[in-house]
Amino acid sequence: MMMGAKRSVDLTEALTWSAVWIGLALTFSASVFIWRGRGPAVLWLTSYLLEKFLSVDNLFVFLTIFANFKTPTSQQHRVLTWGIGTAIVLRAGFIFGGVLLVQQFEWLLSFFGIFLIYAGLKAMQEHFSGGTEAHAKGNDLASDGDGDALPMTQGQSESDQNVILRLLAKAMPMSQTYDREGRFFVKDSTGTDAGMALGGATAAGDSVLARLERVYMQTIRSGLSWVGLSGYKATPLLAVLLIVESTDMIFAVDSIPAVLSITQDAFIAYTSNIFAILGLRALYFALAAAMQEFEYLGLGLGVILMFIGGKLLGTLVGVHVGVEMTLIVILSVLGLAVLASYLQPKEKAHSSVGRVSLSEDAS
């Protein structure tokens, strides 16, 4: 999906690119049918749809991260592109490692099943406790971005984000504003040393953690010097990228067990996962432009996770649910969630939801 930094991305274009990626995925599933037969093709399609649906919740979090950091909309595509590229590499390790573990220790499937049921209950609880409304509020914040250099302090309220920010700040100097060209690193004209306020000479009474932090700082600085970035400082866009990457890794803890509950064929699990991920960027812009229409997706996500977890536990005690039935359940729940969202009376919908600004002034 080739989107320029200064182009408007409307809902029609985003949906068009989403359709293109879905078409490519269906073409690949057809090739699996021709190459390996009907069974593997249905497994592939089921795994793809499951990962695609699970990724929607991930995109809601991306929206909130961009909103909290007031990331200019023209720069969000860079974070998504780099994030998807990294996810493709990391998912390979997660999936192939997970397949090997399940093949060696089949009892791990019981933990996967329990975890998925727990994740489903959490998703349903979040829906009924107003989690979707939190996403909506984050969406309103995102509309404030106008492409100018913006302060990054908006995103420092979450503890997990603070950890990443602290580690990044200790590794190298950080700019407090976004670069207008959307760069992750800019020249440091001040000559500030990374972590000066946090570093210093090693003291005899330092804790093991403090010593490890200094080793971390020295290692990162050496690496930055080796790649020619010793005279640069990080922009807030790099912090956003790292937080998005860490968020995707956390969501992989949900999605990988779910996919492995469908199939332990590494080829099917990985390729279906990758095709779902490749369409995330287009899906993000479509979701951002029509976020208010997805009121019940969180509830549907919880139902699907609980079903997959129950299916997995049932298999261990001799109760088998066919892959065709699994596919029907996933499609039915997704369809009902979307239908219920569109039938939701507008006066009961989140009135505060605003559309994310997907275009920027040429200036």
Same domain, 190 and 323: no
Same domain, 243 and 230: no
Distance of CA 351 to the CA centre of its chain: 26
Structurally, how many domains does the chain consist of? 2
pLDDT value for 248: 78
Same domain, 180 and 254: no
pLDDT value for 275: 92
- Summarize the confidence of residues 133-161 as an average pLDDT: 41
Beta bridge partners of 187: 232
Distances (CA, A) of 57 to 5, 52, 106, 291: 25, 10, 29, 11
Lowest mean pLDDT among 153-157, 298-302, 339-343: 153-157
The answer as to whether 357 is a domain residue is: no
pLDDT value for 75: 83
> What's the CA gap between 362 and 146, in Å, rounded?
11
Would you place residue 342 in the very low, low, confident or very high pLDDT band (cuts 50, 70, 90)?
confident
The answer as to whether 97 is a domain residue is: yes
Same domain, 108 and 193: no
Residue type, 189: S
Lowest mean pLDDT among 27-31, 156-160, 179-183, 222-226: 156-160
The answer to whether 32 and 268 have CB atoms below 8 angstroms apart is: yes
pLDDT value for 24: 94
- Summarize the confidence of residues 324-343 as an average pLDDT: 83
Distance of CA 263 to the CA centre of its chain: 22
The answer as to whether 358 is a domain residue is: no
**Given a cut of 50, is residue 133 above it in pLDDT?**
no
The answer as to whether 68 is a domain residue is: yes
Of the three residues 234, 255, 280, the one that is the final residue of a domain is 234
Of the three residues 234, 258, 283, the one that is the final residue of a domain is 234
Give residue-wise pLDDT tens across range 95-123: 888 878 777 777 777 777 888 788 888 87
pLDDT value for 154: 38
Would you place residue 292 in the very low, low, confident or very high pLDDT band (cuts 50, 70, 90)?
low
Same domain, 196 and 254: no
Give residue-wise pLDDT tens across range 46-77: 999 888 877 776 776 787 788 778 888 778 88
The answer to whether 263 and 43 have CB atoms below 8 angstroms apart is: yes
Percent of the chain at pLDDT exceeding 70: 66
The whole domain housing 85 covers 11-147+238-343
Instruction: Name the pairing type of β-strands 185-187 and 232-234.
Output: antiparallel
The answer as to whether 362 is a domain residue is: no
Same domain, 321 and 337: yes
pLDDT value for 209: 65
Tokens linked to 309: 């977890």
Would you place residue 4 in the very low, low, confident or very high pLDDT band (cuts 50, 70, 90)?
very low
pLDDT value for 229: 61
pLDDT value for 3: 42
Question: Bigger pLDDT: 28 or 94?
Answer: 28
Same domain, 110 and 44: yes
Give residue-wise pLDDT tens across range 229-284: 666 788 888 888 888 888 777 777 767 887 887 888 889 999 998 998 888 877 77
Of the three residues 234, 268, 287, the one that is the final residue of a domain is 234
Would you place residue 35 in the very low, low, confident or very high pLDDT band (cuts 50, 70, 90)?
very high
pLDDT value for 335: 85
- Summarize the confidence of residues 125-146 as an average pLDDT: 50
Same domain, 86 and 141: yes
Give residue-wise pLDDT tens across range 180-217: 888 888 876 665 544 433 344 444 455 666 667 666 66
The answer to whether 152 and 159 have CB atoms below 8 angstroms apart is: no
Same domain, 130 and 247: yes
Question: Bigger pLDDT: 132 or 176?
Answer: 176
The answer as to whether 99 is a domain residue is: yes
Residues in the chain: 363
> What's the CA gap between 222 and 230, in Å, rounded?
8
> What's the CA gap between 313 and 60, in Å, rounded?
29
Same domain, 172 and 89: no
Same domain, 277 and 142: yes
Question: Bigger pLDDT: 219 or 256?
Answer: 256
Measured on CA atoms in the order 117, 258, 331, 299, is the torsion positive or negative? positive
The answer as to whether 69 is a domain residue is: yes
Same domain, 309 and 173: no
pLDDT value for 148: 42
pLDDT value for 221: 64
The answer as to whether 308 is a domain residue is: yes
